[in-house]
Amino acid sequence: MKKTLIIAMTALVSAGMVFAGGQAQSGKAQSGTAPAKTVVVKTMAYGDNSNAEGVNWVRIVKAFEQANPTIKIDYELLYDEAYHQKVSARLAAGDVPDLAYMGGDARWGGPWKEASQQFDHRPYIDANYFDLNLIPPMGPNGEIWEIPLGTSNITTVLFMNEDLVKSLGFSAPKSYDDLVAMVPKAKAAGLDVVSIDGADGWAWGSCLMSAIVARLSGDPHWVSKAVAGQNHFTDKVFVDSLSLIAKMVKDGVLSDKAALVDYGANTSNFSNKKALFMIQGQWVAGSIDPAVADVTKMMAWPKLPGEQAATAGSVAAAIQVGYGLTKKGASDPDVRDAALKFLKYFYSVEETTQRLRDGAIVAPILKNYQVPSDLPLIVKQKVTLAQTAKSTDVIDAFLAGAANDALNAGMQKIATGAATPADVAAEVEKLARSK
């Protein structure tokens, strides 16, 4: 663990620091007074006894309770679909926890929103400890419903093999035209310019289109506004964004066989030096062959045709899940303060901060966090990209169900010439408005 984190942890445990607005609770009764009461925080935690997330949770809670004997974290530990099912069941039964693993999107935040259990944490976040610039707004008025485990999860990364690009006489592209200029030499060498796992429908939306529509519209929240009815998927800017996919194939930037490449083949192609660039989310960095990863640059897309200045250099990023208080938990000041004290402890321990090593998080949201010197270069790049690039909506964080399925399948059809951008846009709009 970094020295700075060790010092921070020692201070947390010894001084009993809490979120702004909270009060430290003493674990010792003063002479002649009754023992301090135990505050119980009922919690829905994410993980199980067979994975690191669950094992670490158990250890962290045990250590916290030993250091804070007047606080009891009474948790239920569940993972994957079992967790989501139990959330729905407990909320339906009115059995609301005080603290839970949640998010700001439809899947991770929707049930809490429908149950009116989202709680705005902003008044209680210690700005001297957490970097508020790395916590995105989650509600319509800037509310923060949970404390993310890390910075937003970047989905639209362009991975560049710097050595391979330089071997053809090129450098990092500054514009789309620079990518087009690489096509003749790349083809002559039997290489793809940009590889995408186009057989996976979600990759078109999450890893490509999410970046394009934000760049062309100039609005980082164009997608969420469209889902809310403020924009329409038949608007010219969305059709133009879809049209850019066809242009990429026509120009040779994307292969005309891109729709046949799955996730594993995409990563393999890049690791085996068969593509100059790869489109994927930040999480794939750990799957790249180490020798190639050492010469890989993680970057935002260069300037695209029709791009607006307001979103230049942006990346699409989904808000990271984390732990948050419910309205029920926050309604009791003792429970609220105990939960917030635990969260500050939880977000500081090495098991939490070091999840950036395997891609579970992009970077911690701790203020003045020092990146460990022994991290691989590509992981350090993730931290830098997350802390510097403007974030925009990820499509499937807002568009769900049949409309999202139609968009993903439609983009595959556009890439193969089986559908027009206007037809796909019309179908998505129709499904997005159907009840």
* Residue that the structure tokens 């974030």 belong to: 391
- Residue by residue, DSSP assigns 319-354 as PPPEEEEBHHHHTSHHHHHHHHHHHHHHTTSHHHHG
| Number of Cβ within a 10 Å radius of residue 370 | 11
* Residue that the structure tokens 């993980």 belong to: 47
Closest CA to 111 of 83, 140, 77, 79: 83
Helical segments of 252-297, H only? 263-271, 290-293
pLDDT (tens, 9 = 90+) of the chain, 435 residues, equals 333 333 333 333 333 333 333 433 333 444 455 567 999 999 999 999 888 889 999 999 999 999 999 999 999 999 988 999 999 999 999 999 999 999 988 778 989 999 999 999 999 998 888 998 888 888 888 899 999 998 888 999 999 999 999 999 999 999 999 999 999 999 999 999 999 999 999 999 999 999 999 999 999 999 999 999 999 999 999 999 999 999 999 999 999 999 999 999 999 999 999 999 999 998 888 889 999 999 999 999 999 999 999 999 999 998 889 999 999 999 999 999 999 999 999 998 888 877 777 667 777 888 888 777 787 888 888 888 888 888 899 998 889 889 999 999 999 999 999 999 999 999 999 999 986
| Helices and strands in the chain: count of H runs, count of E runs | 18, 12
Q: For residue 17, what pLDDT is reported?
A: 36
Q: Which residues pair with 391 in a beta bridge?
A: 315
* pTM across the whole model: 0.74
- By the 8 A CB rule, do 106 and 397 touch? yes
Tell me the two tokens of residue 21: 């607005």
**Distance in angstroms (rounded) separating the CA atoms of residues 399 and 405:** 9
Can you list the domains of the chain with their CATH numbers? Answer: 3-152+320-368 (3.40.190.10), 154-317+392-433 (3.40.190.10)
Judge residue 223's burial from the number of C-beta atoms within 10 Å of its C-beta, 0-12 exposed, 13-18 middle, 19 or more buried: buried
Q: For residue 12, what pLDDT is reported?
A: 36
Q: Is 413 helix (H, G, I), strand (E, B) or coil?
A: helix
Q: Which helix (H) or strand (E) holds 384?
A: helix 377-388
The residue type of 177 is: D
- By the 8 A CB rule, do 280 and 157 touch? yes
Closest CA to 101 of 261, 384, 383, 326: 326
**Distance in angstroms (rounded) separating the CA atoms of residues 64 and 345:** 7
* Residue that the structure tokens 């830098």 belong to: 384
Q: For residue 358, what pLDDT is reported?
A: 66
> Helix 106-114 crosses helix 81-92 at what angle (to 10 degrees)?
10
Q: Which helix (H) or strand (E) holds 275?
A: strand 275-280
> Which positions ≥6 away from 292 have C-beta within 8 Å?
161, 270, 271, 273
- By the 8 A CB rule, do 361 and 147 touch? no
Q: For residue 235, what are the CA distances in angstroms to 154, 217, 419?
A: 26, 10, 18
- By the 8 A CB rule, do 59 and 351 touch? yes
Q: CA triplet 6, 8, 14: central angle to 5 degrees? A: 100
- By the 8 A CB rule, do 121 and 131 touch? no
Cα(first)–Cα(last) distance of the chain, in Å? Answer: 51
Beta-strand pair 275-280/157-161: antiparallel
**Distance in angstroms (rounded) separating the CA atoms of residues 220 and 390:** 8
Q: For residue 200, what pLDDT is reported?
A: 93
The residue type of 398 is: F
**Distance in angstroms (rounded) separating the CA atoms of residues 40 and 155:** 38
- Report DSSP state, residue 371: P
Alpha-carbon Rg for the chain, nearest whole angstrom, is 23
CA atoms within 13 A on the CB side of 222: 24
